[in-house]
Structure 1
Amino acid sequence: MRRKTLLLACTALALITQQACTTIADGETLPVTDAPQAIASSTTEDVVEKKGVMFMNRIGPGSSELYISNADGTNERKLLGENTVFEYSAELASDGTSVYFTSERNGDGNSELFKANIDGSNIEEVVSSSSVEDAVSISPDGKKIAFVSTREGYFSNVWIKDLETGELTNLTGAEHIQGDPMLPNSFLRPSWSPDGKWIAFSSDRNTNWRGHDYPIGWEHTQELSIYVIGADGQNFRRLVSKPEMSYGSPSWSPDGKRISFYAITTEDTWGARRYNLVQDTTSQIASVDVETGRDYIEHTSGKGVKISPVYISNDKIGYVNKGPENEGIYYTDGSTPILKKNVREPIWTQDGSQVIYEQVDHTRRPDGVDLYSWDPEWEYKHIDVFPLLSSQDEIVISDKKNIGNLVVLDRDGKNPRTIYEVTKESTKTPYLLGTGLVGAYQPSWSRDGEWVTFCVGTFFYKRYDAPARVMMVRRDGTGLREVTHGEENAGFPSFSADGKEIVYRVWDKENIGLRIYNIEKDEHRVLTETGDNLPAYSPDGTRILFTRRHGHADYDLYTIKPDGTDLVRLTTHPSGDGHAVWSNDGSKIMWSGSVYGFRDEAALYDDTFQQYGQIWVMNADGSNKHMVTDSKWEDSMPLYVPYLDQEK
């Protein structure tokens, strides 16, 4: 197929959600909510003419490779050699001749299960779909596998596949096992018992949606318990649980008498995945008696986020200690550790002489990198945050990989040029530069494509610590001017359709809500005085889209007229919705939603914020909600750019 050309498209705004305390406003209209619809996913047999590109942002590892070495770290080599693509979560078959693993070799973001010989040869597909397929565990006789899948409903469940017949069974799908679907309801990290009769796993079923640093944080923490169920789906029981604790990644001892896991506070599942907080976060490796759930033993002590425990023998557990200091693979018996950064999920051969692990890298994806497309009519490509297309066919972004500078690109996402550079003088918290909490965010084009309004300063859960300003600059980087002044934290602006006004939010200890600035009159007026944020004018200028907080970690999308009337609530799920975007013609709204919860254990992620979130689309009135991504990573901020033609 010959190269396609991109069509000039109208404005679409990318918003990132922040936090606030608020109550539901009087007089609002709640539309009839409808059940989310399925993703339109492609298959290899489909031949669908592409309409264009959906640019989107993904926060996740830039690469992940499987390695094998001696137990002391010597003789390290890539497990799959030159066939390495993007692999993680390996598991050895009991006979030691083959290894199963998750791979995204069929598309960036599409997690599927594969197997290979222990020497890396003979790679073959085991479970393939457009859903998340991950965290495989192999039965001792090698005839079945248990794994996590989001198939048939998008919640993470434990499934079993019979490798001889191909039969698939949802092990955790029974009504008495499922929790409240309005709450977290994920079933994760299965582990098969040595006798093949039982499967242990972690789950957050029937826990609460909870943000970090109550009542500030938007990003979810996770409370996990350990459960055990018969391989036939019978005798489901909870083994280890405690309020405000997270117990994850169960592993059976070789004699089947104990199960090990990591233990971390629910609050610390936030710090465990933030590179600037992980050094001050602690977890321990523990175990309990399988029969009673008692005889709780902690096998480690001291600082460090300790995860991914694996019994090597009845008296020895291997695990990962992650963080900036002394990171690597450790042993509870004091054996020499493998001191190596960014190693994750180790597994050992049956005699303990060799270890397989993943090596991850968090270098951000370059703009324009191809992603797996769940919608057959659109090509998915990665782009940095807050992408927006102008009437002059240019895309502006916040270049988060370069401390949040403002960058303008051509319509195909190439040829970057910086129009505003973030410096130490841009903020009163220069020590936060590079953390994602400081930058020039949410750029918005004027109608003629000549001006960009944006905000610069300190944001998100650090917004109370320092001010932020709304600014304007020409598309060539000249003419910089302030829209707001003083010590308030003002940000996330959006131009009106006629270019005469800018809506923005204020959020600090003194003031909250939406404000509108009239450029000609140089006047500011109050639109709302509740915890509303990230406003965006519709392309026709008749409505403003924004996010409102109803409680801790509960955010929903609204629209309102610019005169403050006709408030309409568009989403109602307690999990939280945000990152909202208008489509080019204003008929659709896209956003990042958390309805289906976690796709993996929160503490296992690295260098991320929300650590999961799928892109959704709905009509502007809130109807016809449906997902357009299904990955285990944080996906958000879409920008649809149609092709100019359909050349073949």
Structure 2
Amino acid sequence: MNHKTIISLLALATGTVAAAQAHAKDVLLFNRIGPTKSELYVANADGSGEHKLIAGEGFDYAARFSEDGQWIVFTSERTAEHGGRGQSDIYRVRADGSALERLTDDPAVDDQAALSPDNRYVAFMSDRGSHRANIWVLDLQTRQLRNLTGAAPIQGDPTKPDGFYRPSWSPDGQWIAFTSDRNTEWKAHDKGVAWEHLQELSVYIVHPDGTGLKRLTGEGVTTGSPKWSADGKSIIAYQGETEVSWLSRVDQLSMKATSQIVSIDVATGATKELTSGAGVKLYPQFLPDGRFAYSTKSAQISGIMYSDGAKPFPSNLREPSWSKDGKQVVYEKISNLPLEQNTPLYSWNDKYEYRYTDVFPMFAKDGTLAFSNKDVDTSLVVSKADGSDKQLVFQSTTHCAKGKNPSGQCGDMIGVALTPSWFPDSKKLVFSFGGYWRTRDQNVANVKMINRDGTGVEDLTSTTSNTGFASVSPDGKQMVYRSWAKGDEGLRIMDLETRKVRVLTNDWDNVPGWSPATTGPSAGRIVFTRKQKDGNFDIFTIKSDGTGLLRVTNFPASDAHAVWSWDGKKIMWSSSEYGFKDEAALYDNSFQPYGQVWIMDPDGSHKEQMTNSRWEDSLPAFVPPAALNKGK
């Protein structure tokens, strides 16, 4: 090989590398609320003999025994096969853990499977084709698939909740029971004052061919997770006030919730309570000899309970399912330990790599990432885009939102540090600190400025009211923030040199973001969320001089948490447009489990859904070129 050939090959190799780098995928960071580990276990009914169902690593949940006890179907997000967490398919395995088989393979959410009594069909929830939760049926012999609840006579009003969940076959295979929130209203908890949605579920039955739809339970309550009796005459389920669908899914509130186990007469729809007393009771199932079992969550005894007074099986488990003879139970054990920053997530868009981030990510012009470490104590942290070189800039637990109490401690006055926003020189940030969300009426909060090394903390707004969610203008001369006080609600703009404040809006507006663009259609515009008179939340933009108000979302479900892309050419936000993917009461510590990341142009056109998991996905940020140059 001569000298010229070597040079030519080197040039070709260099060009190939450069081309690969030039065409590398953009990276989208976003936060996900959901378990970070979920493994299936099988045990005897009394908890003895517990062992893992499947050896090795997996992310498995929603397991259910077949009628003959030979098979277990379940949902899995097996990352080695899928290229990242979040994409779920249906699997089956022998009850002894052998013969693992994948039954579905689709980017959609496939979940909540149940085998027919003859093991030929599997009914499951899927949002394929429409992004809405429907019941699908797969013929395991022919592999033909059909949407059981997708027919017009079964579908509800598409502008309202319209999901179908938790299918269950009758013992003779002639009926499928399921729950649905079809034709209910988008309602917020706490009598409509709050932002998070309730879920009003009813139990329905339908023939496997889609005929004979019948509603068994009435309005005004949430009834979930139906299972049939051995004679097919009754269905067992949990039932409670609709507020349970909110309280049960938030750890610190679930102790306030109560649901009961009920039996429903299939012929008449008559409902009979089988349990009493406080506490959340879920996942009921009839057992032989007239017994039944269920699990509790955040009650005095948490775990599996039996109606005949058998010894409870206390354990931090979820989704128990018993074999027909009641001798064995399969369930999942979960962990909510945080993911590492930059953990790969499944990407539903081939143009991007998806990765996990802690909350409120914001990039400086030099590529430095700032975020709130909610996974630890909601303090302010800066790092590289991949989470390396992490530095704690402001620790929430060493500061007090309202000053120290007489004993010299913060007590319950500890605040949280949220929504960092960089100055254009990448040397300083503003952020919000204090009591927000549900505590905003009782606690103070304000906007602070700080050097990126943690020095020079300075209050920019009053420490006696509740202000926050600030965003700095591209030239660093102004910031927009929200004010929360009776008679002083809305968005305000502060001149950072004179500290003079002017009113931008006087409505119930929140989480403003100043476009980073200095030219183009978004230059000088501020994106924010507004609560409408009907309780719905939508995304708006407005010019910084108060003109040009533009509503860019208008779906009856809530849209919020909007942010700009780093170049100001796109708006990303969290939307509940397609509703819940499961019964809300079954989630753990998930405020808006229906939330998914969307993207659109600044004028509201070209809307596109970016994520499609069964978990809560929100708070996105594209990694800018300056950060990619520092390494992902």
TM-aligned CA deviation for residue 211 of structure 1: 1.0
Residue aligning to 2:594: 612
CA separation in 1, counterparts of 2:237 and 2:117? 20
Code of the residue aligned with 1:303 in structure 2: it is A
When residues 213 and 471 of structure 1 are mapped into structure 2, their CA distance, relative to the original with a 3 A threshold, is same
1:321 is matched with which residue: 275, 280, 296? Answer: 296
Retained in 1: the 8 A contact 2:30–2:619?
A: yes
Residue aligning to 1:111: 88
TM-aligned CA deviation for residue 431 of structure 1: 6.0
Residue aligning to 2:572: 590
Retained in 1: the 8 A contact 2:400–2:413?
A: no
Q: Rg larger in 1 or in 2? A: 2
TM-aligned CA deviation for residue 94 of structure 1: 2.0
Retained in 2: the 8 A contact 1:388–1:639?
A: yes
TM-score in terms of structure 2 length: 0.91
Residue aligning to 1:280: 256
Code of the residue aligned with 1:627 in structure 2: it is Q
CA separation in 2, counterparts of 1:610 and 1:575? 12
CA separation in 2, counterparts of 1:293 and 1:314? 23
CA separation in 2, counterparts of 1:557 and 1:73? 50
2:180 is matched with which residue: 191, 196, 203? Answer: 203
Q: Give CA-to-partner distance per residue, 1:137-164, whole Å, 9 cap, x none.
A: 1100110010000001100000000111
CA separation in 1, counterparts of 2:340 and 2:535? 31
CA separation in 1, counterparts of 2:177 and 2:113? 12
TM-aligned CA deviation for residue 75 of structure 1: 1.1
CA separation in 1, counterparts of 2:272 and 2:303? 22
Retained in 1: the 8 A contact 2:528–2:562?
A: yes
- Count of aligned pairs: 595
Residue aligning to 1:40: none
Code of the residue aligned with 2:545 in structure 1: it is D
Secondary structure of 1:270 counterpart? helix
Secondary structure of 1:176 counterpart? coil
Which has more helix, going by share of residues? Answer: 2
CA separation in 2, counterparts of 1:487 and 1:442? 20
CA separation in 2, counterparts of 1:431 and 1:272? 27
1:260 corresponds to 2:242: no
CA separation in 2, counterparts of 1:370 and 1:551? 40
Q: Which runs of 5+ in 1 are unaligned?
A: 8-47
Residue aligning to 1:473: 450
1:528 corresponds to 2:505: yes
1:333 corresponds to 2:308: yes
TM-aligned CA deviation for residue 407 of structure 1: 0.3
Retained in 2: the 8 A contact 1:182–1:574?
A: yes
Q: What RMSD, in angstroms, separates the aligned Cα atoms of the two structures?
A: 1.9
2:479 is matched with which residue: 502, 506, 512? Answer: 502
Residue aligning to 1:80: 54
Instruction: Specify which structure has the bigger relative contact order, considering alpha-carbon pairs within 8 angstroms and separated by 6 or more residues.
Output: 1
Residue aligning to 1:457: 434
Q: Which runs of 5+ in 2 are unaligned?
A: 1-12, 404-409, 518-522
Output aligned runs, 1:75-224, within 5 Å.
75-82=49-56, 84-105=57-78, 106=82, 107-224=84-201
Retained in 2: the 8 A contact 1:197–1:230?
A: yes
CA separation in 2, counterparts of 1:511 and 1:526? 9
CA separation in 2, counterparts of 1:584 and 1:456? 24
Retained in 2: the 8 A contact 1:211–1:552?
A: no
Code of the residue aligned with 2:273 in structure 1: it is E
CA separation in 1, counterparts of 2:467 and 2:192? 20
CA separation in 2, counterparts of 1:457 and 1:486? 9
TM-score in terms of structure 1 length: 0.89
CA separation in 1, counterparts of 2:500 and 2:614? 45
Code of the residue aligned with 2:77 in structure 1: it is E
TM-aligned CA deviation for residue 428 of structure 1: 3.9
TM-aligned CA deviation for residue 433 of structure 1: 7.7
2:223 is matched with which residue: 247, 255, 270? Answer: 247
CA separation in 1, counterparts of 2:104 and 2:505? 50
CA separation in 1, counterparts of 2:308 and 2:208? 32
When residues 171 and 412 of structure 1 are mapped into structure 2, their CA distance, relative to the original with a 3 A threshold, is same
Q: Give CA-to-partner distance per residue, 1:22-71, whole Å, 9 cap, x none.
A: xxxxxxxxxxxxxxxxxxxxxxxxxx964222111000011111001111
Code of the residue aligned with 1:502 in structure 2: it is M
When residues 433 and 96 of structure 1 are mapped into structure 2, their CA distance, relative to the original with a 3 A threshold, is farther
CA separation in 2, counterparts of 1:473 and 1:463? 23
Code of the residue aligned with 2:219 in structure 1: it is K
Residue aligning to 2:376: 402
Output aligned runs, 1:45-64, within 5 Å.
50-64=24-38
CA separation in 1, counterparts of 2:494 and 2:195? 27
Q: Give CA-to-partner distance per residue, 1:552-577, whole Å, 9 cap, x none.
A: 54100011000100100100001000
Q: Give CA-to-partner distance per residue, 1:446-471, whole Å, 9 cap, x none.
A: 11111110110111122111111100
Residue aligning to 2:420: 443
Residue aligning to 2:549: 567
Retained in 2: the 8 A contact 1:214–1:552?
A: no
CA separation in 1, counterparts of 2:167 and 2:411? 41
CA separation in 1, counterparts of 2:387 and 2:193? 35
2:619 is matched with which residue: 637, 640, 645? Answer: 637
Retained in 2: the 8 A contact 1:284–1:305?
A: yes
CA separation in 1, counterparts of 2:217 and 2:192? 28
TM-aligned CA deviation for residue 214 of structure 1: 2.4
Residue aligning to 1:17: none
CA separation in 1, counterparts of 2:540 and 2:335? 37
1:271 corresponds to 2:247: yes
When residues 428 and 282 of structure 1 are mapped into structure 2, their CA distance, relative to the original with a 3 A threshold, is farther
Retained in 2: the 8 A contact 1:504–1:514?
A: yes
Q: Give CA-to-partner distance per residue, 1:559-598, whole Å, 9 cap, x none.
A: 1000100100100001000111111221111111011000
Q: Give CA-to-partner distance per residue, 1:180-233, whole Å, 9 cap, x none.
A: 101100001111100000000000011111111124310111111111111111
Residue aligning to 2:351: 377
Retained in 2: the 8 A contact 1:241–1:247?
A: no
CA separation in 2, counterparts of 1:592 and 1:141? 42
Residue aligning to 2:4: none
TM-aligned CA deviation for residue 612 of structure 1: 2.3
